[in-house]
Structure 1
Amino acid sequence: MTKKVVLIDGNSLAYRAFFALPLLNNDKGVHTNAIYGFTMILLRILEEEKPSHMLVAFDAGKTTFRHTTFKEYKGGRQKTPPELSEQMPFIRELLDAYQIKRYELENYEADDIIGTLSKIAEESDTEIKIITGDKDLLQLVSEKTTVDITLKGITEVDSYTPGFLDEKLGITSSQVIDMKGLMGDNSDNIPGVPGVGEKTAIKLLKEYGTVENMYEHLDELKGKLKEKLEENKEQALMSKELATIFRETPITMTLDELAYDGYDEQAVISLFKELNFQTLLDKMNVGEVEEKVELTEISFEHVDAIHKEILTEEATLFVEIMDVHYHQADIQGFAIVNENGNYYIPTDVALSSEEFKTWASDETNKKTLFDGKKAIVALQCKGIELKGIDFDLIIASYILNPAEATEDLAVIAKKKGFFQLQSDESVFGKGAKRKAPDELLHSEHIIRKAIALRELREQFEAELKENQQLELYEHLELPLSFILAEMECTGIKVDKKRLEDMRDELSIRLAQLEKEIYEFAGEIFNINSPKQLGTILFEKLNLPTAKKTKTGYSTSADILEKLEGEHEIIRAILTYRQLGKLNSTYLEGLLKVINKETGKVHTRFNQALTQTGRLSSIDPNLQNIPIRLEEGRKIRQAFVPSHEDWVIFAADYSQIELRVLAHIANDEKLIDAFQNDLDIHTKTAMDVFKVKAEEVTSDMRRQAKAVNFGIVYGISDYGLSQGLNITRKEAATFIERYLESYPGVQEYMKDIVHEAKQAGFVSTLMQRRRYIPDITNRNFNLRGFAERTAMNTPIQGSAADIIKKAMIDLAFALKEEGLKAKLLLQVHDELIVEAPVNEIEALKELIPRVMEHALELKVPLKVDYAYGPSWYEAK
């Protein structure tokens, strides 16, 4: 069988993937866009090429043998963005999981490794495919070797064979290095001959074949071209040498060692889980391989009628709810474990028992649960109040280490040395196959979960106390869970008719845009087909910068945005796409989740998920409704009070993270600015640009605002340059000036990194921890990311703690004042309340007072508020 060797330029494809996709993060805050893009390229290669042998080559370092010839080689390259650098170790880990060989060699580049291996492969009966984003490798094209050049994006390629190379450039593969010698290469800082571009170089090569032969016939040339070539002869020959791939590198790997036999499934699954690549996990369609658990026998009573031994003043209660949509889910049984024994109670027995209902609602009966919020909501939907929860293990586990947050009690239990519990997935199944097993197995599993809770409680309480996190647990997270449960049950009223009208209005607008696009195009076509759209734009309308591949033209958003000024059709297409997504994702999406009985949406708040302590919401996600487009902002018009003569009242913290930064960093300038209620972005612009307030332009303020908020998130020069559309050098200078202007902030950044290295974690003002294991990692990139995490976590986490504390204080204050107002939503730094009109004056005083005194800082907290007949008017 003919071998097929695939050789991949690792650095080149990682760069392509990074810049092709927007910055993405996993739940630990690690950037993943380059890893995800690289994975997609890899999967496509494996599917399409079906290689028998495979290798990914990487550059080993900044210095190569070429620097001896020309020390400025690659000297003009910008520093790799840290957001990409931190992903490179994961790309290597990805290759190891896929059992694909990778190789790098000191003093040589990836191109040289690929060149050497392709030469060895060509000497045998082998088909070779090289995949890269760099045209330097076109010099390796031959009858046996095809070079795929990835274009913008991660799915489009040009496959260069000798014939295609001749068709595209009119030269042979051996002449690629001559072309580089003449025209140079800015990306590698190869000088070439000044003033000679690609067209001139190709024209000369078509006539003379090589650079050397051209110089032998230099007297045949005339004018300025001859002068330039004559003056730069040594530079041209040196440039050709620099561009030549060295195909005799001393590699220690043989071709046979590159044999590809498939991937390590469990290693891939484990990595995808760590990176939160859920879509890729779903495509793999494999279940978790679980360690076999040797379960010892347990005894328990299957209860047919409630008796007094079951309902004690202290007990562990497990409420089994298999469906994640627990608002309307059926309960699959209860377990109670106390000093008298272990009891399994079928759902119908518990729900029909007045004794059970009374016990559940009695706050003096103290109960240990796992995910009390879910149990409260599920039981309330069945007409049962659940009170008296004095320990919730899922919250305790989350506080102790948010990086290991999980909803599977078996995973938590095993980490604490309790092995008498199987995972839910092994008992109930996964996905569509998920169902309750026979009653005996089912009841025993629920009982085992309750036993685990009872066994583990003391250990978790001791750890919370040891970590000085008991107060965070008892006074913030546990009481917050009860408030969130109440908010979930309350829900928020949605004007279905308004949503339907908006959907219809958008449909009309989309139809109008469709008509406009057809008129601009001069024909009817499928706007949603990239292939048809590409033909219209780049062939019929002849728009510039088209890149055609074997699959057609790219019509991605970034390409269309660059063409916006070229033709009216582009703006119409971009608007059509935005409104189409708004219609399908948000309008249609919200209409699907309105509760038919209540006319409300009942979002579910994720309390034990993020590492910073922030809340998130799902089904629907009310924190991500797009408000940059006015059409998106108008969706908030559909969120209305649940009673007539009531209003929606919204209050949000002003620049809370910057105020927290001022407090934590103890920076005199920042503190003074906030204490005197100055515009912080104007003040920053004054300090950084050394100008007076009246000299600050809107652009200066915009840049100051970007760096103010960027500092909070550990922004890099690359990140700031992307946000402000300036060079990385300008961005780096801006950050440097900022830190000079605010020495307290600079000192804080140094100190917090030092503390993280000493302790292994950082803490918020309320002792929420985030563990940062990579803070001492030998890998520079991983350590750099960890340091940025250490800087921003105390700020983001403290801001999250403050708004959680405000929610608790506000819920208490509303009841204390006897007001009817109800807390409905928390969205980032904003609290949304519904209230009768006659309570507005009271709320205007009460809500800002409560929120501004949730935690006393060295600077005042400031709250802005608004109210109206809908959430839209309350902004």
Structure 2
Amino acid sequence: MKDKTRLMILDGNSLIYRAFYAIPLLTSSEGEFTNAVYGFMNMLMKVLSDEKPGCIAVAFDKGKVTFRNEKFDQYKGTRKATPDELRPQFAYVKDILKAMNIPTYELEGYEADDLIGTVTKRAEEEGYMSVIVTGDRDALQLISPATTVMLTRKGISETELYDTGRVKERYGLTPEQMIDVKGLMGDSSDNIPGVPGIGEKTALKLINTYGSMEKVYENLGDLTPKMREKLTENRELAFLSRELATIIRDVPFELDLMECYLEEPDYDKLMPLLQKMEFKTLINSFTERMKAAGLAPSESGQAPPVCQVEYECTVLPLQEGLDRLAADLDKGEISISYELSNPDPMLAELTGFSWSVEPGTAAYVTGVGEGQAELFREEANISPLASLAGSRAGVKKYCHDGKRLMVALDRYGIRWGSVAQDTLLAAYLLNPTGHHQDLADLSAEYLGRELAPGDESAGAAGTSGAAGAGSSAAVIMELQKVLAQKLADDGLEELYYSVELPLTRILADMEITGVRVDRERLTEMSAELADKLENISTEIYGLSGEEFNINSPKQLGYILFEKMGLPAAKKTKTGYSTDVEVLERLAAEHGIAEKILEFRQLAKLKSTYVDGLRGLINPRTGRLHTTFNQAVTATGRLSSAEPNLQNIPIRMEEGRRIRKAFVPSEPGHRLLAADYSQIELRVLAHISGDANFIRAFREGQDIHTHTASEVFGVPENEVTREMRDGAKAVNFGIVYGISEFGLARNIRITRQQAREYIDGYLDRYPGIREFMKNIVVEARENGYVTTILDRRRYIPDLKSRNHNVRAFGERAAMNTPIQGSAADIIKLAMVRVAECLEREGLKTKMLLQVHDELIFEVPEEEMEKAVPLIRDCMENAVELEVPLVVDMKQGPSWFDMEKIKNV
């Protein structure tokens, strides 16, 4: 029941931004981007269901310039521009909120935080209890006995509730003291400078010790000389930073809390909006609300025929449930839904599971929590769940996100074999930009049925509790049949059954195995980078003639453009731009710009990669365990997360040296890297059928030198380095649909020269020109493009009325068959390599996939056998018009590797 004195206020900008970056880009059939709207609405509906507030409102920022910019013109000066794909989604959210009769507040010159602070202050005065929903920790300062903060985590998938007790437990401070901490440490995301050299740890220690910034400055004599010097020199900056971080609680705007009372939506306006966004689950949810309220849907708001179906679910204690599962294994097929205690399956306990063997029925096992963990592990080898995992008697297993379950069960000593159907993967192949992650959406879309509501999120299944888990298991049983038929209809069976499904087990093994990193080496590298940063800082101060905060765009702009008189771009309201492009241009004018670029790159390496990787080492295994996302990218490529081991920078020597810390797990083992050579260009040659391009690869020519020779009309032995670099940029640019503007910027030539490069390239390779033209035409006609293994990518953007969106669709149509085919090839190669290693009984393990490269750990005695086996599997994964070539290296670390000749 709703509590009319309970007010919930959402930080609209924070939640929409977090949703945008947490959820892969989604588009409606009309080409409108919807992922941020989808994530925001799911978050809104979840907090409404869980918290049951009687009053609700949403606050938004209004404009870029606020009163804080008048105090500090570089405030938020480092913020990137809102992505084009996100910008229109704010209006969609506001339209939906208006249709839901939820008030929104925004005011020129103020931020959403200030409006939230004002609303909650008024609410406290009038006897309301408030909950602030945000991803911004600045809101912690607003906590009081009557106001709590619900912080979003993991994008928007999790929340953590903070009250005064939680703030004290976490930080040892009162909420008000958090403002003093921000004054000392600053905030890079808002470009609040703070005191240079003081981070969060030091700021917390100072405020814990002295209570306030004023008291810190009163007791400077207690501090070390270096700390005293920092604080003294930056006193004005510290108090300015605190002022910038302080949320205003008396914003002058009309506020009547009565208008925040939660009302029924205006369904005639709401339903068409949801239908335009194609949010089937939300449509169904509101349709049920209409029925419950006795409101028949109007014609304009008529939802698809989706209904909630009651599933018969039997709830069983652990032992009785295992006995029932043992009996059900004789049924021949079974669907499994599971619940984990942690989003990271490497750290998770299995807290519950359900299964279904007959349509409309399910069983749910309770008591699989932490208290039963040891018992469950001890009985794992003889338990029915272990028997099911091993596919006893050929039982067909169906699930949603099987890889996650495989990783979680490994800690119990249970090896979950391959599955017969995975509804996550099947839905991903059918529509890689759709809502395949959410089982509830799939149920509504393909079955016209709503999952039974659960108490809280349960990860892959999407529901929790007996009703929710049982509903999930029963839905999976029905859904897998529908999806299997659609895969057959779309010609995707071979890709699904021969590549994606078997790859799931391989990726799970890679995640479980992890990769060993030398923690001491990372610590040494951190210290080395700290020394280099200090030395570069000294050089920069010497070139500038004074010390300043290198991380402050305002101070940097003053040094470069006012004191040193370097040529600046036009000064804006927020000051001079000091971004990468500006500094790269200035590097030709003065050495200080090059040093600043180097400083920024090294600082990023240290914080994100060297120090960041140390913090992600699994405490149980002592290794890094990345998560390979198999069903995220639109092209079919794998991605890596937490940590992203596909994105370790290698352009700088210091970045490459991070790979020195990646080492074998046992003495006598070596790391082996197998890398496809120019696979995307070889795919382009195959798909385009261009005779000249194909001949160059067949003859083993340097493709970039050959291209330069063709484009510039000179013999290959007269091609200069500049010519080859330009040809290389065009070769790879074609793969990604590069424009003349992009090429000109990348290799620093004029747009006219870039146009001449591209025209010359396409004149020499007419097959590629025809491919680029025809693939866009075919995509418009079919609505999708395909890869060499028939993977589909639907491109609704081609129908958009927005020119920029259409152009994005055209680039996607051109590059998806190339990138997607390369992804198909390495996935198929991984399956073939794993099969061969197992068949030969080798202990060699696949550890990582980094785009076109596979990393293995190989016992030295197996190297002679493993190298040709892996090379053969990879080079013969598919047959193209040009040869596939794999370069191989081995060594004691990922960095220290020697090339292995192809003998």
Equivalent positions of 1:421-820 (< 5 A) are 421=451, 427-428=455-456, 442-545=465-568, 548=571, 551-777=574-800, 780-820=803-843
Aligned equivalents of 1:628, 1:480: Cα separation in 2: 30
Q: Which residue of 2 aligns with 1:857?
A: 880
Q: Which residue of 1 aligns with 2:14?
A: none
Aligned equivalents of 2:572, 2:792: Cα separation in 1: 50
Aligned to 1:309, what secondary structure does the other structure show? helix
Question: Is 2:387 aligned against 1:359?
Answer: yes
Q: CA RMSD in A?
A: 3.8
Q: How far apart are 1:543 and its partner, in Å?
A: 3.5
Aligned to 2:880, what secondary structure does the other structure show? coil
Q: Which amino acid aligns with 1:421?
A: L
Q: How far apart are 1:789 and its partner, in Å?
A: 1.8
Q: Which residue of 2 aligns with 1:66?
A: none
Maintained 8 Å contact 1:360/1:385: no
Equivalent positions of 1:109-148 (< 5 A) are none
Q: Which residue of 2 aligns with 1:243?
A: none
Once the two structures are superposed, residues 261-292 of structure 1 have per-residue CA deviations (whole angstroms, 9 ceiling, x without a partner) of: 99x9999xx99x99xxxxxxxxxxxx999636
Aligned equivalents of 1:368, 1:99: Cα separation in 2: 40
Q: How far apart are 1:827 and its partner, in Å?
A: 0.2
Unaligned residue ranges in structure 2 (runs of 5+):
1-21, 38-59, 69-80, 97-188, 192-258, 289-306, 899-903
Q: Which amino acid aligns with 2:694?
A: I
Question: Is 2:307 aligned against 1:302?
Answer: no
Once the two structures are superposed, residues 389-430 of structure 1 have per-residue CA deviations (whole angstroms, 9 ceiling, x without a partner) of: 211110000011101043221011111133231577xx4269
Aligned to 1:855, what secondary structure does the other structure show? coil
C-alpha distance 796-447 of structure 1, shift in aligned 2 (>3 A): same
Aligned equivalents of 1:658, 1:566: Cα separation in 2: 37
Once the two structures are superposed, residues 692-729 of structure 1 have per-residue CA deviations (whole angstroms, 9 ceiling, x without a partner) of: 11221111111111111111112222222222222222
Aligned equivalents of 1:31, 1:516: Cα separation in 2: 49
Maintained 8 Å contact 1:518/1:524: yes
Aligned equivalents of 1:592, 1:778: Cα separation in 2: 46
Q: Which residue of 2 aligns with 1:318?
A: 337
Aligned to 2:646, what secondary structure does the other structure show? coil
Maintained 8 Å contact 1:752/1:790: yes
C-alpha distance 96-482 of structure 1, shift in aligned 2 (>3 A): closer
Aligned equivalents of 1:93, 1:567: Cα separation in 2: 42
C-alpha distance 290-436 of structure 1, shift in aligned 2 (>3 A): closer
Q: Which residue of 2 aligns with 1:104?
A: none
Report % sequence identity. Answer: 45
Aligned equivalents of 1:326, 1:773: Cα separation in 2: 35
Question: Is 2:440 aligned against 1:417?
Answer: no
Q: Which residue of 1 aligns with 2:436?
A: 406
Q: How far apart are 1:539 and its partner, in Å?
A: 3.8
Aligned equivalents of 2:830, 2:803: Cα separation in 1: 40
C-alpha distance 87-386 of structure 1, shift in aligned 2 (>3 A): closer
Maintained 8 Å contact 1:360/1:384: no
Aligned equivalents of 1:317, 1:96: Cα separation in 2: 37
Maintained 8 Å contact 1:366/1:388: no
C-alpha distance 562-98 of structure 1, shift in aligned 2 (>3 A): farther
C-alpha distance 549-781 of structure 1, shift in aligned 2 (>3 A): closer
Q: How far apart are 1:570 and its partner, in Å?
A: 3.1
Maintained 8 Å contact 1:436/1:442: no
Maintained 8 Å contact 2:737/2:814: yes
Maintained 8 Å contact 1:651/1:863: yes
Maintained 8 Å contact 2:400/2:423: yes
Aligned to 1:324, what secondary structure does the other structure show? coil
Q: Which residue of 1 aligns with 2:116?
A: none
Once the two structures are superposed, residues 408-458 of structure 1 have per-residue CA deviations (whole angstroms, 9 ceiling, x without a partner) of: 21011111133231577xx42699xx9999xxx712111111011011111
Maintained 8 Å contact 1:365/1:388: no
Aligned to 1:368, what secondary structure does the other structure show? strand
Aligned equivalents of 1:96, 1:446: Cα separation in 2: 32
Aligned equivalents of 1:510, 1:586: Cα separation in 2: 15
Maintained 8 Å contact 1:31/1:87: no
Aligned to 1:311, what secondary structure does the other structure show? helix
Alignment TM-score, normalising by the size of structure 1:
0.66
Maintained 8 Å contact 2:439/2:461: no
Aligned equivalents of 1:391, 1:558: Cα separation in 2: 49
Q: How far apart are 1:666 and its partner, in Å?
A: 1.2
Q: Which residue of 1 aligns with 2:350?
A: 331
Aligned equivalents of 1:593, 1:517: Cα separation in 2: 33
Maintained 8 Å contact 2:740/2:758: yes
Q: Which amino acid aligns with 2:396?
A: K
Question: Is 2:363 aligned against 1:343?
Answer: yes
Maintained 8 Å contact 1:654/1:863: yes
Q: Which residue of 1 aligns with 2:422?
A: 392
Q: In the comparison of the two structures, how many residue pairs are matched?
A: 631
Moved segments of 4+, more than 6 Å: 28-32, 86-90, 264-267, 434-437
Maintained 8 Å contact 2:675/2:854: yes
C-alpha distance 522-435 of structure 1, shift in aligned 2 (>3 A): farther
Residue from 63, 79, 88 that aligns with 1:45? 63
C-alpha distance 792-553 of structure 1, shift in aligned 2 (>3 A): closer
C-alpha distance 372-705 of structure 1, shift in aligned 2 (>3 A): same
Once the two structures are superposed, residues 25-78 of structure 1 have per-residue CA deviations (whole angstroms, 9 ceiling, x without a partner) of: 97479999xx99xxxxx955277399xxxxxxxxxxxxxxxxxxxxxxxxxxxx
Maintained 8 Å contact 2:418/2:504: no
Q: How far apart are 1:637 and its partner, in Å?
A: 0.3
Q: Which amino acid aligns with 1:863?
A: V
Aligned equivalents of 1:793, 1:321: Cα separation in 2: 35
Q: How far apart are 1:800 and its partner, in Å?
A: 0.4
Aligned equivalents of 1:688, 1:510: Cα separation in 2: 43
Alignment TM-score, normalising by the size of structure 2:
0.64
Bigger mean CA offset, 708-717 vs 331-340: 331-340
Question: Who wins on radius of gyration, i.e. which is larger?
Answer: 1
Aligned equivalents of 2:722, 2:491: Cα separation in 1: 46
Aligned equivalents of 2:827, 2:656: Cα separation in 1: 25
Maintained 8 Å contact 2:517/2:661: yes
Q: Which amino acid aligns with 1:472?
A: L
Bigger mean CA offset, 689-698 vs 585-594: 689-698
Q: Which amino acid aligns with 1:639?
A: F
Question: Is 2:291 aligned against 1:291?
Answer: no
Q: How far apart are 1:597 and its partner, in Å?
A: 2.8
Maintained 8 Å contact 2:418/2:505: no
C-alpha distance 581-873 of structure 1, shift in aligned 2 (>3 A): same
C-alpha distance 98-748 of structure 1, shift in aligned 2 (>3 A): same
Q: How far apart are 1:321 and its partner, in Å?
A: 2.3
Maintained 8 Å contact 2:704/2:728: yes
Q: Which residue of 2 aligns with 1:216?
A: none
Maintained 8 Å contact 2:461/2:469: no
